Chains A and B, each alone.
Chain A
Amino acid sequence: MSALTLAGLRERWPLLLGALLSVAAGTALLASAMTVADSATRPGLAGLDQRQAFAVRDAFDAVAAIMIISAMLTGLLTVFIVATTFAFAVAERRRDIALLRLLGAGRGQVRLVLLGEALALGTAGSAIGLALTGPAVSAQMWLLRRADFVPGGFELGRPSWPLWTAGGVGVAVALLGVLAASRRASLVPPLEAVRGGGARDRTMTAGRWTVGVLMLLATAAQIAAAARVGLVVALALGMGVALTGAIAASRLAPAVMPLAARALGAPLRPTALGSLVDANGREGVQRSAATAAPVIVLVALVVSVTSALAATATATAVEARDRIDADLVVTTTGAEAAVVAALPGVAAASPESTPDLFIDLPQRTGGGIETERRFDGYAVVDPAGYAALHPVAPVAGSLADLDRDHIAVMERPTDGIGFELGDPATVTVGAQTVPVRIAAILPEQLSTGQQILLHRDLVPDDLLDTAPTDVLVEARSHDDVAAVRAAAEPYGDTAAVEEWITARTEAAQRTNDATLEVLLALSGLYTVMAVANAVVIAGTGRRREHAVARLSGLTRRQVVAATALEAAVTAVTGLVLGLAVAACAVLGIALAARRSVGSAVVEIPWTLLTATAAGSLGLAVAVSALVAALVTRTDPITVAAARE
């Protein structure tokens, strides 16, 4: 039996090389993400004071968080890609399997052969993947450094658990990937070995429908939830919808594919070559669906995640415009704040400073009260000035009640955190810890900047004088704005509010882009590899079909062209389905934005979308043409006459 397994591997090497690569790449990426995440959980804090330690820990946490997200993403992609590849590889071998059945192999033996192959491939793939973990970690670290994510003092560990885990996942995923496919394969009737022409499985099985519909429902549920929760969950929403939607779309693709192929093939049909493309597209549904699957997940993921982050940045700007009613912002220190506020032509000013201090804030969670020490996300304000330039009504209490014993906090229902008026907290400035109570609760906001407001009397003047301070300024009239700005010039950097908000949004967008690069660069490459893989597997199984086409009068060039055209139709179908999934994500994000900032924000990354679409289309066409050219090298009569 093992000889048979090995012989099978030798025979179908392009098919199995594809499967091997998909396991290896997934394992390597998973192991590397977990290795970096593990290294980020042990920040070196020796000799640091509390605030420095917090900053270091925060930076390490950010690395850990993005690597954990990355690991989850790669994990899910590995499952998706490996399962699709293995299932397809099994489906391509119906004739071999029927022959085994004809020669007396029982159903159990067929499953055993296939599971044996999966075990061999999974183990080999995992081993290769683990060997590639070093380079993958280097690539991951290069991306993180490039995005300025890596804090000083970060040391890469060499923990062994990520290797064991990733290796185990690789093998398990390979086995699980063929489990369903092997069951279907064991039902292949032996008669199929005798009859000419490959009958195919009914591609839309009950299992496929079930998974597809369940994933569709999960996608809808996420969109519905997003509409209630708001944009705080945008990234999770983007990724979640992309993955469940892509699984739904690829599971249901065989049902949609013939329709799509018919629609896309319509303009081609009048030509002889076009009609062949059209017919092949409808005939090889399994093949088309397997090729389209990675295209769907690639497009859905890239567009959804990018648009989620872009929409968050934009919505944060929308929110800032809503919540700031000023003309200018002067970026200065506390010492100059009073001078700026007193300039002629100034109607109202709100100095908002961030001196070094920390706040111990008890938060009501579902399980009780947990005190969190906050080293950021606060501002020291003058309540009257703040209220004048921030047209935001508290959901409870009043900003007028802020004084040296009372603070304001922003509610955070999305994080499951609640506050009540009168809740105690402490503010520590230098060596002095002051007990305070919550006197006002502000509505939740997307920006994480000012979640706690402190009265300026809480902070000694000398500390405030040197603290970084934004002074929001409202001029008496529109005509005074320019004069006030000119007058404020000597005291700091001045900007119109709109410029200031735009600059902040752009800075956020730069961080987003860096995050996206870290998250999507490697997993995107992995998916691109999967596209090429599927095309190669689909292409190498068609040697005989191409030979027959050539014997029917097609030139080699025509066969290659027809195959490339067919790949184009398939890729476009995948793109359309992927975009449909992305559209679901964009819809969810828009609804979430409406919940968060009152208006639906739609950000579509056109450039990236165009590049991804053109890239995957080009890749599918180029690879399929290349494979078709390679498998038609042999004289067609030799191939067609060869018996199996």
Chain B
Amino acid sequence: MNTETASGAVSAMAEGTKTYGSGETALRALDAVSIAVPRSSWTAVMGPSGSGKSTLLHCLAGLERLDAGRVALDGRDITAASDAELTRLRRTAIGFAFQNFNLVTSLTAAQNVALPLRLSGARPARGEVRAALDAVGLGDRLRHRPGQLSGGQQQRVALARAIATRPKVLFADEPTGALDTSSAQAVFALLRSMVEAGQTVVMVTHDPVAAACADSVLFLRDGRLVDRLDGAGAATVAAVLTGLES
């Protein structure tokens, strides 16, 4: 990988290619995609359904392996990282926020927030967990289980978890996909505050409003990077997206 472009990037992919299946049914999800996500930035990834958005996110986060090309995270090449290395990264450098929230339903909000820290062997202070939940406005819901929380609250618990572990990069896939407008706004504000605190957000979305909150928007179609907008408004983003879908 070209270290020149990667030097300022906290997450990067060079010539990433990924194909699912083989022969007639083969689907090229990523086709020689190269991106570099700068530190302390918010990048949105958009594209029509089936364009490879989620695959890009999974590969950047080390959840899926590329067939060809290279991936780097926090200055380290993770293209062929071992499971143990990737596990370590998930504990220390990466956070996740997905549409389906990914909370452990048997644990309380506080326990969910503390879980990654505990898995990494740390014993999180009560105040630390509380502060993270306070930051997302759920300081009074410490002992609630996910089933007792609304969708927006669950997503905020997931974000509190990402805040508590202070990951360098937060990978988010449609984090507001299942939320109403006001809950979504709260989540956007949280993501922005994380970016301002020095963290990096890579977010897949199909919502132009969400994408407009990001610093830059990448557009994918058929596994290829086709366009890029910086600091664009929702209307511009929507227009580009409509162009891609037609």
Contacts and interface: CB of A to CB of B under 8 A. Distances in A.
B183 interface: no
A338 interface: no
Contact of A106 (B87, B105, B115, B146): B87
Interface string B97-135: 010111111110001000110111000000000000000
Contact of B90 (A3, A102, A642): A102
Contacts, number: 82
A116 to B, nearest CB: 14
Given A7-B111, A194-B98, A643-B178, A96 B120 contact: no
Interface in A119-145: none
A93 to B, nearest CB: 11
A643 B90 contact: no
B104 A642 contact: no
A351 B8 CA distance: 109
B151 interface: yes
A360 B87 CA distance: 74
Interface string A180-205: 00000000011101101000000000
A104 B87 contact: yes
- Interface majority SS (helix, strand, loop, mixed), chain B: helix
B63 A189 contact: yes
Q: Which size bracket describes the interface of B in this complex?
A: 20 to 34
A103 B63 contact: no
A4 interface: yes
A103 B97 CA distance: 11
B180 interface: no
A107 B83 contact: yes
B87 A194 contact: no
B197 to A, nearest CB: 21
Interface string A1-27: 101100110111000000000000000
A225 interface: no
Contacts of A644: 100-103, 105, 146
A347 interface: no
Interface centre among B101, B107, B119, B147 (most CB of A within 10 A): B119
Given A189-B63, A194-B96, A643-B151, A99 B102 contact: yes
Given A4-B115, A105-B119, A643 B96 contact: no
A107 B106 contact: no
B226 to A, nearest CB: 25
Interface string A626-644: 0000000000000001111
A587 interface: no
Nearest to B91: A104
Contact of A105 (B87, B92, B98, B146): B87
Residue of B88, B106, B120, B154 ringed by the most chain A CB atoms within 10 A = B106
B31 interface: no
A541 to B, nearest CB: 13
Nearest to B161: A103
Contact of A100 (B96, B111, B119, B120): B119
A111 interface: no
Contacts of A3: 111, 118
Nearest to B54: A194
A106 B119 CA distance: 8
Nearest to B84: A106
Interface string A189-231: 1110110100000000000000000000000000000000000
Contacts of A558: none
Contacts of B196: none
A109 interface: yes
Contacts of B120: 104
A225 B169 CA distance: 66
A101 interface: yes
Contacts of B98: 194
A193 B96 CA distance: 11
Given A7-B106, A7-B107, A643 B63 contact: no
A10 B106 contact: yes
B102 A193 contact: yes
A100 B151 CA distance: 20
B104 A7 contact: yes
B148 to A, nearest CB: 11
A10 B104 CA distance: 12
A8 B104 CA distance: 9
Contacts of B88: 104
Interface string B63-89: 110000000000000000001100110
Contacts of B83: 107
Given A104-B120, A106-B87, A643 B101 contact: yes
Nearest to B93: A104
Contacts of B178: 643
B58 interface: yes
A196 to B, nearest CB: 7
B104 A643 contact: no
A102 B87 contact: no
Interface string B4-41: 00000000000000000000000000000000000000
Contacts of A193: 102
A100 B63 CA distance: 13
A10 B103 CA distance: 16
A267 to B, nearest CB: 32
A96 B104 contact: yes
A182 to B, nearest CB: 16
Q: Which of A100, A106, A191 is packed against the most chain B CB atoms within 10 Å?
A: A106
A190 B104 contact: no
Contacts of B101: 643-644
Given A7-B106, A8-B106, A643 B100 contact: yes
A103 B107 contact: no
A102 B102 contact: yes
Contacts of B103: 643-644
Contact of B119 (A11, A109, A641): A109
21 contacts: A3-B111, A4-B118, A7-B104, A10-B106, A99-B104, A100-B104, A102-B63, A102-B96, A103-B96, A103-B115, A103-B119, A104-B87, A104-B91, A104-B120, A191-B64, A193-B102, A194-B100, A643-B101, A643-B154, A644-B103, A644-B146
- In the A-B complex, the 8 residue pairs with the smallest Cβ-Cβ separation, listed nearest first, are A11-B106, A104-B91, A7-B106, A104-B90, A191-B63, A643-B101, A106-B87, A103-B116
Interface of B: 58, 63-64, 83-84, 87-88, 90-92, 96, 98, 100-107, 111, 115-116, 118-120, 146-147, 151, 154, 161, 173, 178
Given A96-B104, A194-B96, A644-B100, 11 more contacts: A4-B118, A12-B106, A103-B90, A104-B119, A107-B84, A109-B119, A190-B63, A191-B58, A191-B63, A194-B102, A643-B101
